Structure formats: structure tokens, C-alpha cells
């Protein structure tokens, strides 16, 4: 089992131990959950919906724990269920930790001053109330908004993944704008690399990483070179159109330094033709194993 406390090193150790670079996104859309879990549940009863959602996510974690270093619960799908949903999220986080899987909360937090400090204090590290290993952070209010997250991540051996070049079609509206000779996303990448270098561990990677979408493979290749000490979280694989060939430029020369996220393609695999003959949890496990194999083949 991993021994280092440093987040960048722990992630490297988990990736190596499981021989896998996949990140399983936990996006528990109610309408897509298996019918067996929804049966008899009143959709107006948020507590009952939240309970079924937690059961689903725990079962997904059990199915993928042997092949995924890290899971990424999407906070929005729990928040929309109210207080019961937040209790379910807490249960999911603890279940992942017990299963030996790192937890990256996809909350895209970002604010100024004491508010940013509050978010960082709430989510980052095993001594926080939420006990997440890492958090996605939106830096587009300015560079000062990153500082509280970076400081707390360093203090608590946690990590952050900063939005640099996101996978959505409209990302270019802001991120591709030129600021002098640089695009906004290039300038953001340089900031991330600076923080990553200042928090570098034995693995060569820092506790500050970047989010760069698989849907922009040319920029992904450029940003891998621009951020040599930053882990890259690559969304957009599978359902959003990104292929194994598209994500390959996000890895370093030794085949590490990136984790590739898939949500729908794994957690709702039972809806896909090639897994339709399997129990839904078996379909999840098979889809995760297949994705890990795809990435290993490059």
C-alpha cells in the first residue's frame, strides 16, 4: 500500500499499484440508475432517493476498486437531493476511503479571501470534515483565489486540480482569448506549473494539478509539456468523444502523470450493448477494466 503522505506521490503510488490511470466519475443521475435500485422509491422523497443513490455509488466503488486509483464524486448530483444528499455524499466518500481508493471531489470551488479558505478547510485532507484527498478548483476569479487552496493542500497532504482547458464546447469563449502573446489557458497553465513545482514530491509531481479536456488533444499535448510537474485530470473520454489516442498526449514519457475520467461510460455501462448480458454491477466492473486496458495499450 502507498506509504507517502504527499498527494502527488500517493496518486503516483496508487496508479502504479493498480496499473491503471482511470478516474471513475460518480455522477449518479437518478433517471439512469438501475431499475432494481429505483423500484418502490418515491421520487418526491429526497431521503429515499438519497439512500438509493448512496447504495448505487457504494456498489460502483466496490466494482471498480481493484482497477481505479481514484474516484470523482460530482457534488451537484448530491446537492440537488438536499441535506439527505449531502449525508449520502459523506457516506460515499467514507466508503471509497475504506476501499483504498482516493477521493477527488468535483466541486469546482473558487472564491476570494476567507470564503476560499472556508472551502479549502472544509474539503481538503483527512483532517477536514469531508476528508477528501483532492478537490477541483475554478481559478477564473484570479490568481489570489488559488492561494488558500494551495496552502491548505500543502499543509494537509491533499491535492487540487485547477481548471485550465476544460472539455466543454464553449471553453474557448474565455480560455482561448489572447492576453498579449499568450492565451488565457496558457497563462493559467504557467500558474499551475509554478504551484506544482513549489509543492513537488519524490514522484516529480506536485500537489497542484490541472484539468485539461480530452476533447482538445492538441492543447493537451502542449499543456503536458508546459506543466511537467503537474498531474493532469483529463475529462471528456468516452461519452464526450475522447478516445485513448486523444488522451495519450496527456501522459509523460514514462506513461504516467495523468488520470483519465469516465463517468457515464462506466457507471451506466449496463445500458451499453456490449455489457447488456451482465448484471449492472458486473457491467460496471467490466467497463472499468476495459477502459484501463485501453489506456494501457495507448
Per residue in 115-147, pLDDT (tens digit) is 999 999 999 999 999 999 999 999 999 999 999
In a domain, 122, yes or no: yes
In a domain, 2, yes or no: no
In a domain, 129, yes or no: yes
In a domain, 1, yes or no: no
In a domain, 190, yes or no: yes
In a domain, 210, yes or no: yes
Q: What is the pLDDT of residues 1-25, one digit of tens each?
A: 455 699 999 999 999 999 999 999 9
What does pTM read for this prediction?
0.95
Q: Which domain holds residue 137?
A: 7-297
SS3 percent helix, strand, coil of the chain, rounded to 5, is 50, 15, 30
User: What is the CB-side half-sphere exposure of residue 30 using CA atoms within 13 A?
Assistant: 20
Residues designated catalytic: 108
The kind and range of the H/E element at 190 are helix 184-198
In a domain, 62, yes or no: yes
Confidence (pLDDT) at 245: 86
In a domain, 43, yes or no: yes
Q: What is the pLDDT of residues 174-210, one digit of tens each?
A: 999 998 999 999 999 999 999 999 999 999 999 999 9
Q: What is the pLDDT of residues 153-164, one digit of tens each?
A: 999 999 999 999
Q: How confident is the model at residue 87 (pLDDT cuts 50, 70, 90)?
A: very high
CATH number of the domain encompassing residue 148: 3.20.20.70
* pLDDT score of 296 more than 90: no
For residue 192, give every residue at least 6 positions away whose Cβ sits within 8 Å of its Cβ, in sequence order, or none: 162, 164, 208, 209, 210, 227, 230
- Say how far apart CA 280 and CA 122 lie, in whole Å: 34
- In total, how many domains does the chain have? 1
Q: Are 63 and 70 in contact (CB under 8 A)?
A: no
Amino acid at each position: 500500500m502507498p506509504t507517502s503522505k504527499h498527494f502527488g506521490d500517493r496518486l503516483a503510488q496508487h496508479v502504479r499499484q493498480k496499473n491503471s490511470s482511470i478516474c471513475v466519475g460518480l455522477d449518479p443521475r437518478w433517471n439512469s440508475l438501475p431499475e432494481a435500485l429505483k423500484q418502490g422509491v418515491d421520487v418526491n422523497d429526497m431521503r429515499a432517493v438519497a439512500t438509493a443513490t448512496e447504495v448505487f455509488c457504494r456498489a460502483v466503488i466496490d466494482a471498480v476498486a481493484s482497477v481505479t486509483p481514484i474516484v470523482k464524486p460530482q457534488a451537484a448530483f448530491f446537492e440537488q437531493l438536499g441535506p439527505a444528499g449531502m449525508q449520502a455524499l459523506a457516506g460515499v466518500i467514507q466508503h471509497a476511503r475504506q476501499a483504498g481508493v482516493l477521493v477527488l471531489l468535483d466541486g469546482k470551488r473558487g472564491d476570494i479571501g476567507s470564503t476560499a479558505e472556508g472551502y479549502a478547510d472544509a474539503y481538503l485532507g483527512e483532517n477536514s470534515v469531508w476528508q477528501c484527498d483532492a478537490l477541483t478548483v475554478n481559478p477564473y476569479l484570479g490568481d489570489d483565489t488559488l492561494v488558500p487552496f494551495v496552502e491548505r493542500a500543502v499543509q494537509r497532504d491533499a491535492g487540487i486540480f485547477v481548471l485550465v482547458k476544460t472539455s466543454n464546447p464553449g471553453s474557448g469563449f474565455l480560455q482561448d482569448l489572447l492576453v498579449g502573446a499568450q492565451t488565457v489557458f496558457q497563462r493559467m497553465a504557467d500558474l499551475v506549473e509554478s504551484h506544482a513545482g513549489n509543492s513537488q514530491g519524490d514522484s516529480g509531481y506536485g500537489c497542484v494539478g490541472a484539468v485539461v479536456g480530452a476533447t482538445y488533444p492538441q492543447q493537451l499535448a502542449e499543456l503536458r509539456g508546459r506543466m511537467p510537474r503537474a498531474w493532469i485530470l483529463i475529462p471528456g473520454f468516452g461519452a464526450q468523444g475522447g478516445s485513448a489516442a486523444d488522451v495519450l498526449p496527456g501522459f509523460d514519457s514514462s506513461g504516467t502523470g495523468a488520470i483519465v475520467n469516465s463517468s457515464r461510460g462506466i457507471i451506466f455501462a449496463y445500458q451499453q450493448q456490449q455489457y447488456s448480458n451482465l448484471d449492472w454491477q458486473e457491467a460496471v466492473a467490466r467497463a472499468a477494466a476495459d477502459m484501463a486496458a485501453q489506456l494501457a495499450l495507448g
